[in-house]
Chains A and B, each alone.
Chain A
Amino acid sequence: MAQVTFEEISASDFFYRNRDIAGFTNPSRAIFAAVRELVENSLDAAESLKIPPDIYVRLSYEEEASRETQVYRLRVEDNGIGVPPRHIPSAFGQVLFGSKYKLKQQRGTFGLGGKMAILYGQITTHQPAIVISSTGMSKIYMYKLMIDIQRNRPIILDRKVLINKERWRGTIVEFCLEGDYLRAMPKILEYFKQTAMVNPYANLTFVDPKGRLYKFTRVTKEMPDPPKETLPHPYGVDVELLQRLIHVTPYKNMLEFLRNHFHRVGEITARKFLEFANISPSKKPKKLSHQEIVRLMHMLKKFKGFLPPDANCLSPLGEELLRAGIVKELKPDFVAVHQRKPSTYAGHPFIVEVGIAYGGEIPKKGSFVIYRFANRIPLLYDEASDVSVKVINAMNWRRYKVTPDMPIAILVHVCSTKIPYKTVGKEFIADRPEVRREIANGLREVARQIQRFLTKREHVDREKRRLGVFSRYLPKIAQFSTKLAGREKPPDVKKLLRSVRKFGAEGT
């Protein structure tokens, strides 16, 4: 009989073994994911202070690793909030440690991304990572770290404290990793371009291993309001969350418990709910049995009396910035943007923003160019599975005079405290009916706007063509008839051409 051994594995071990789900599938995906995770951390860090981000990314070639992969050094610098020195080792050396577990819209959610990148670098190159950070106070801290995978703990190899004369604030992360830049390049460049599109207030600089410089310059210093933290909405809770809340709550009865831990629950609503659920308001939360907790969760979902979640914990881009971003990156002839009113799915507030653009630098490729974003992160993989793409494909675009041979780009941005991602790799959004409906309604609105533009343009084009035809032939008629008639001077066709322009002639 085979011996079965049981062992507990640490979080970092777990993700190390399952790095696929975090997006580190192969050498090309890995290098893309590393860049992306660090850039997103930097954007979060700047935005939480409402500072227009300045992010510098450098990828430099170190040495040959195998036939197809090379070792690169990745360095990302930002002007964000910085990491307090005591948190630096854990923030960069302990998986599932992060500051973004609260309920507000942010790019980071899992406490994983940056570490996966560092972990991947460490596994492939056996070299430590360097983190330099300052919160803008008098000192700068420099750490040289490695991750103890088995124990999910940072190993500090070196630590330096520098005097911050210039009061620099920000974070620099640098480490080596193995990857295949040549294959990753198109996605990485696309990632920067799309990031610039939905972050028009950011300066992004990228220097690639060949020394090529890609610069995406901000067009505005306007930034959306940073999101506020919020309590969970009763429709969105699960047993796990309830148990955690019960564990930490200082409140001694169910009425207070509900009033203080949930979003949009006041005294009256709480009482009504407890009556509905047949739970005594004075019941002690900590006395709830496991079965009672499960039942509570079900009742919370069933009760119709809760107000929908408030969306001020969300930070959509806003129509103006969205337009600025699209214009900046695509230079289209026409753009329409639309922000939907906040909505919710399963107790999570979300807002859909959409845009449609025509012409300019948008290629004609026989199908629409689709840009998908979630909390201002471009989603570049698994397009076909994404809910936006399903909605776009299901729409009857001909009704709006839009055909796939046109240079059309469609942009969908979903922001939420909880994006319904299908995977930890954050690549595509699941098909939720509520989300689908909002995307569809938003697209219909911008479709109507582009229809008006296309109709008008068609009209102008037709007029131009008409005038072209008349100005081509009328002078010839004048010329030949003059010769036939034996006259010297041809009749003046200007007046006739003017009348074509003014009234249009019959027939089309």
Chain B
Amino acid sequence: MPAQSILSSDPIAALATPPGQSALGIVRMSGDGVWTLAAHACGHKSIPESWAPRTAQVVTIRDSDGDVLDEGVLLPWKGPHSSTGEDLVEFIGHGSPAALTLVLERFLALGARPAKPGEFTRRGFINGKLTLDQAESVASLIDAKTGAAARSSLRVLMGGLKTQLQMIEESLQDALGLVELELDFAEEEIPIFNRDRFVADVAELLDQLERLSQHARASKYLRNGIHVVIAGETNAGKSTLFNQWLGQERAIVSATPGTTRDYLDAAVDWNGIPVRLVDTAGLRLTEEAIEKEGIRRAQALLEQADVLLWLVSPPDFVLPDERYVTDERLLLIRNKADVGVLTPETLSAKVTAAISATTGDGLDDLQARIVQRLMGGTNYEESLGLEQRHARHLNEAAEALGRSSTLASANASEELIAVEIRAALDALSEITGRIAGDDVLNRIFGRFCIGK
């Protein structure tokens, strides 16, 4: 059963420039209503009157709270006069992978879906933006069974993962078979669909999917870097830690509280994983204007962090306020371990690591913990092939499976369980391209680079 129509024009979005540090980066969005989506992303309620086809707009992309994600130029196109033949917008931003990813994610949050590899090209193709000659050559290119064009990074890099996915598909097909047997052969003597067994099997499959999702997440960090923000009370030793990891005295360190005002930002490399390290102004109540602004910026940065390192140190051991305490990204780090002050008992259980920013003790260990926490025990090499859209499909499959398991335990009828197993299979087939028909179309077009 084809899940996606070849003729559909729902909004899709993707990075159009290769990931990595470059001067400029482009995020592209095509399909029905993308002008409105873009307007929303810029904080407008509707499309501003000044927006006209092919005229550059200087815009600020904001998150749902109105905070700035990136500034850049927006170029809107009206279908059919665009490369996809549909309404299209291009956002040209500052090229930092982290910022571009945020912009992309904002588009996705507003209703676009991640483009499949080559989907922009396919739409242009189907909407007649290529001449028939070109169409013929494009098609033969797509059909080329050999050669670099036919080899997607996915296939090269994730042979192992694909096998795993196919094994999951096999198990699901088996389970679906048992369910269908009950439904279609009610008159026969057939084995009863064993719900306990099914729930147990699904739990196992969900574990496997979770591991694969971890690969996908790892892949995202490998490409875009881990965003680590160091925060904490004034004088906790944030700048000292920042400098220590940087290997140079970049930030001013002093015993005066409130030394750091504006935030400092640096790129470091942790065993091949790019890390964006940010030192922030110590958070405290202050009336001083510059420091206040620094604190506001620090808080904005906290929102974007993958990891929030909160330093506590003697004598006050100040904890983060309410809203961060339960934040999953938070790691509580006890600094100045070299000073002979005991960690208060109420705190010690919550502390992830004790370090000394001055001596460097415990830093390697902390670094390893952060990587482990975000990327799990994944093999980086394998992870490279997994992309955001794969993560999304894995997630869809996991959600459908979760529902199937809930239904099975709640004694719901088999035909509903079947709906969810099918949904999971559909989601997986978007990655493995196993189902015949339109799904394979997407895979084959996948030989094109995303966003071209």
Do A and B assemble together? no
- Residue positions of A touching B, CB distance < 8 A: none
